C-alpha cells in the first residue's frame, strides 16, 4: 500500500523555512578500461562478462591505477576552479552491500585530488549563482542489482535479486558541493541548473558521455530546512541516483514540501537515503544514512599515493575547452539567437552538431533548424540520441546547399534527408535515385500551368480580374502535378504571365 505523505504548500515552505542543498554528482569516466584493472569499460554487455579477479574482489588480486582516469580527474578539477592536490591517496570505504564484491569501495576520503572550487550557474532569467565545490574525488562504481518481482523494481517486495558486476570498478569522479544556501524559492531551479551546467562542462571536457539515462551521470540531492530564526542546518535527507534534470528539480521541491510538513507537525526529519519515484514525483524512504565513522575509512594499502607534478597539472590546464558560459555567450552573439532560441538549442543537445554543420558551410539558422526541429523529431521517433542518427553534419550542410542553389525545395530537402537516414547514400545520390531535383525547365512548367488553368477556368478569370492571390490554387495544382518538384515562386510568375494579369 502506498503511503501518501503530508505536504506543505510551497509558498508557505518558503515563508517559514530556508532550504539548504548539497549536491553530489557521480560521473562515470569514458576511459577504455576500468579504474583498477584492464576490463573493458563499456555500457551494457551480457551480465558478468566484463569482469576479472580484481574487479570481482577475489583473494590475491591487486589493483593497478588507471592513469587516464587520474588525468580526467585533474582536468575536471581544473575546470571547476579547484586546487589540485600535490599529494593524495585512496582509502577503503567499508560497507556490506551485494553489489560491492570486495565489501569495500576504493575511494578517496580526507585527501581528494581536487578541492575548494566553484561553478557559476546561470538560471533561466539570466541570474548567475555561484555554487562552491567542496571536492572532486576519484573512486570506483559498484555493480548493479536487479530485483525481480514486486511492483516497484526495488528490493522490498521482490522475489529474488540478480547481480551484474560489469559496472563494478568503472572509474568514477564524485563532485560534492559545499552547502548551497540563500537560494530560497529558487532552490529546485538552482539544483537543476547546476547539474545541467556541470553536464555541459563534462561533455565539453570529453571525459564522460554524461548519459543520465544510462547512469553515467547521476545526482544525489541532499536537502534540509532551517527555520527562519535558526542558526544551524536542519537534518538532511539524501535522494539517491536521480537521473534526469527535471527529476533533480522535482525531487528537491518535493523534499522541501515533505520535510516542512513533518517539522510543522512537530516531528523530526530522519537522516536517511530516499528514492525518487519518476511516476508521481515523490520520494520514499530508503535506509538510515550512515556517518563517515560508520564506513571505517582507512588508507588503501595496495595503492601508492598520487603526487601529480605541477608541470603536468599546468599542461593539462592548457587542454581545457572554452567554458560553457563563455561558449553560450559567443554562440548567441555569432548566431544572433534570442535567449529562448539559445536555451532550446542547448536543451536539445545539438550544439556540437549545429557547430559542425556550420563549419561544413551551412548558415547557423538553417543548421539549427534541421537539428533542433526535423532531426530531433526523427531521433524521438526512433527513440535514439541525435548523435546516433545515421547522418553527418557535412551531409546536412550539403542539403542546405542544394536548397540555396534552387535544386531542392524545402519539402524535397526533407525527402532527401529521410533518404540519407534510410541508408540510401549521400544527399546527391538520394536526389538522383529518387528523382527529387526541382523541375526548372520552363517548358515543362508551362505545360503543367496550362493544364491547371484549363481545369480551373473560374480561377483563371479571377486572376485576370486582378485577384492575384487566387493564383495560389493554380500553384497548388502545379505542385501536386509535379510531385512537389516545381519551384513554386517560378510557377507563380508563369501563371501571372500566362493569364496576362
Chain segment 90-99, per-residue pLDDT in tens: 999 998 878 8
Q: Across residues 192-205, what is the average pLDDT?
A: 93
Residues 179 and 32 in one domain: yes
Cell of 473: 490554387
Q: Is the pLDDT of residue 211 over 50?
A: yes
- Whether residue 302 is contained in a domain is answered as no
Domain boundary among 414, 434, 454: 434
If one counts every other C-beta atom within 10 angstroms of the C-beta of residue 340, the result is: 9
pLDDT reported for residue 328 = 84
Note every long-range contact of 382-387, with CB atoms under 8 Å and residues 24 or more positions apart, other chains counting.
385/349, 386/348, 386/349, 386/350, 386/353, 387/349, 387/352, 387/353
206 and 62 assigned to the same domain: yes
Q: Are strands 237-242 and 272-277 parallel, antiparallel or unpaired?
A: parallel
Are both 376 and 452 inside the same structural domain? no
Per-residue pLDDT tens over the stretch 326-348: 888 899 999 998 888 888 888 77
- For residue 150, pLDDT over 80 is answered with no
Residue 470 is part of a domain; what is its CATH number? 1.10.10
* pLDDT tens readout for residues 277-287: 988 999 988 87
Look up residue 268 and give its DSSP letter: -
In the predicted model, what is the mean pLDDT of residues 149-154? 73
Q: Is 123:193 a contact under the CB 8 Å cutoff?
A: yes
| Size of the chain, expressed as the number of residues it contains | 501
Closest CA to 199 of 183, 211, 186, 213: 211
- Is the pLDDT at 190 greater than 80? The verdict is yes
CA 6 to the chain's CA centroid: 32
- The model's pLDDT over 240-266, given as tens digits with 9 standing for 90+, comes to 989 899 999 999 999 999 999 999 999
> ∠ CA(168), CA(172), CA(175), 5° rounding?
145
Q: Which residues pair with 145 in a beta bridge?
A: 163
Residue 362 lies in a domain: yes
Instruction: Tell me how many domains the chain contains.
Output: 3
DSSP string for residues in 5-71: PP---HHHHHHHEEEEEEEEEEEE---SB-SSS-SB--S--STT-S--TTTTT-TT------HHHHH
In this predicted structure, what is the pLDDT of residue 342? 85
Share of the chain above pLDDT 90, in %: 59
Q: In the prediction, which pLDDT does 2 show?
A: 45
Q: pLDDT confidence of 438, banded at 50, 70, 90?
A: low
For residue 346, being part of any structural domain is answered with yes
Does 349 share its domain with 468?
no
Q: In percent, how much of the chain has pLDDT > 70? A: 85
Question: Does residue 308 fall inside a structural domain?
Answer: no
- Given a cut of 90, is residue 400 above it in pLDDT? yes
Specify the pairing of strand 83-84 against strand 114-122: antiparallel
243 shares its domain with 362: no
Contact 470, 452 (CB under 8 A): no
Boundaries of domain holding 193: 10-290
The mean pLDDT of 468-476, rounded to a whole number, is 66
- SS3 of 96-149: the string is CCCCCCCCEEEECCCCCCEEEEEEEEECCCCCEEEEEEEEEEEEECCCEEEEEC
Residue 270 and residue 133 share a domain: yes
Domain boundary among 434, 458, 475: 434
Q: Which three cell numbers stand for residue 415?
A: 525527402
**Are residues 360 and 465 located together in one domain of the fold?**
no
pLDDT of residue 327: 86
Reading the block at residue 456, the C-alpha cell is 480551373
Q: What is the pLDDT of residue 1?
A: 39
Q: Are residues 490 and 421 in the same domain?
A: no
Q: Which has more confidence, 395 or 453?
A: 395
pTM of the model: 0.77
441 pLDDT higher than 60: no
Higher pLDDT, 499 or 161: 161
Secondary structure class of 351 (helix, strand, coil): helix
Phi, psi (rounded to 5 degrees) for 172: -125, 145
pLDDT value for 154: 72
Check residue 180 and give its pLDDT: 97
Within a domain: 401: yes
Rounded to an integer, the average pLDDT of 22-28 is: 97
The secondary structure element, H or E, covering residue 241 is strand 237-242
Amino acid at each position: 500500500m502506498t503511503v501518501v505523505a503530508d505536504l506543505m504548500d510551497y509558498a508557505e515552505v518558503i515563508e517559514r523555512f530556508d532550504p539548504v542543498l548539497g549536491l553530489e554528482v557521480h560521473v562515470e569516466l569514458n576511459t577504455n578500461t576500468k579504474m583498477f584493472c584492464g576490463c573493458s569499460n563499456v555500457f551494457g554487455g551480457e551480465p558478468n562478462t566484463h569482469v576479472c579477479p580484481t574487479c570481482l574482489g577475489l583473494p590475491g588480486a591487486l589493483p593497478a591505477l588507471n592513469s587516464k582516469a587520474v588525468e580526467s580527474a585533474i582536468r575536471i578539477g581544473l575546470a571547476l576552479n579547484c586546487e589540485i592536490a600535490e599529494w593524495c591517496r585512496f582509502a577503503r570505504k567499508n560497507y556490506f552491500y551485494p553489489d560491492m564484491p570486495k565489501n569495500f569501495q576504493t575511494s578517496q576520503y580526507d585527501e581528494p585530488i581536487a578541492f575548494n572550487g566553484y561553478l557559476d550557474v546561470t538560471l533561466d532569467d539570466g541570474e548567475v549563482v555561484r555554487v562552491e565545490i567542496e571536492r572532486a574525488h576519484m573512486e570506483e562504481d559498484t555493480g548493479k542489482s536487479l530485483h525481480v518481482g514486486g511492483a516497484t523494481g526495488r528490493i522490498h517486495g521482490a522475489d529474488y535479486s540478480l547481480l551484474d558486476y560489469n559496472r563494478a570498478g568503472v572509474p568514477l569522479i564524485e563532485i560534492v558541493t559545499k552547502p548551497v544556501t540563500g537560494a530560497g524559492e529558487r532552490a529546485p531551479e538552482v539544483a537543476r541548473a547546476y547539474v545541467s551546467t556541470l553536464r555541459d562542462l563534462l561533455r565539453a571536457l570529453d571525459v564522460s558521455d554524461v548519459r543520465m539515462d544510462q547512469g553515467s551521470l547521476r545526482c544525489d540531492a541532499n536537502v534540509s530546512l532551517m527555520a527562519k530564526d535558526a542558526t544551524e542546518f536542519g537534518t538532511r535527507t539524501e535522494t539517491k541516483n536521480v537521473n534526469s534534470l527535471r527529476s533533480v528539480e522535482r525531487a528537491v521541491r518535493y523534499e522541501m514540501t515533505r520535510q516542512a510538513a513533518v517539522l510543522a507537525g512537530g516531528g523530526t526529519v530522519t537522516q536517511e537515503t530516499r528514492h525518487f519515484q519518476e511516476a508521481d514525483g515523490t520520494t520514499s524512504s530508503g535506509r538510515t544514512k550512515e556517518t563517515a565513522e560508520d564506513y571505517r575509512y582507512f588508507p588503501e594499502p595496495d595503492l601508492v599515493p598520487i603526487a601529480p607534478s605541477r608541470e603536468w597539472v599546468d599542461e593539462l590546464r592548457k587542454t581545457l575547452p572554452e567554458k560553457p558560459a563563455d561558449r553560450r555567450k559567443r554562440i548567441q552573439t555569432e548566431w544572433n539567437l534570442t535567449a529562448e532560441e539559445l536555451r532550446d538549442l542547448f536543451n536539445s543537445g545539438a550544439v556540437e552538431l549545429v557547430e559542425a554543420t556550420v563549419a561544413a558551410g551551412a548558415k547557423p539558422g538553417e543548421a539549427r533548424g534541421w537539428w533542433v526541429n526535423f532531426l530531433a523529431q526523427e531521433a524521438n521517433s526512433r527513440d535514439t540520441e541525435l548523435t546516433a542518427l545515421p547522418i553527418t553534419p557535412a551531409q546536412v550542410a550539403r542539403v542546405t546547399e542544394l536548397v540555396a542553389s534552387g535544386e531542392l525545395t524545402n519539402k524535397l530537402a526533407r525527402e532527401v534527408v529521410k533518404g540519407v537516414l534510410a541508408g540510401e547514400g549521400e544527399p546527391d545520390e538520394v536526389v538522383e535515385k529518387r528523382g527529387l531535383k526541382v523541375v526548372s525547365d520552363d517548358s515543362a512548367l508551362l505545360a503543367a500551368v496550362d493544364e491547371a488553368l484549363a481545369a480551373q477556368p473560374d480561377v483563371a478569370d479571377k486572376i485576370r480580374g486582378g485577384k492575384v492571390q487566387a493564383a495560389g490554387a493554380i500553384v497548388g495544382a502545379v505542385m501536386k502535378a509535379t510531385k512537389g518538384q516545381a519551384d513554386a515562386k517560378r510557377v507563380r510568375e508563369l501563371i501571372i504571365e500566362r493569364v496576362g494579369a
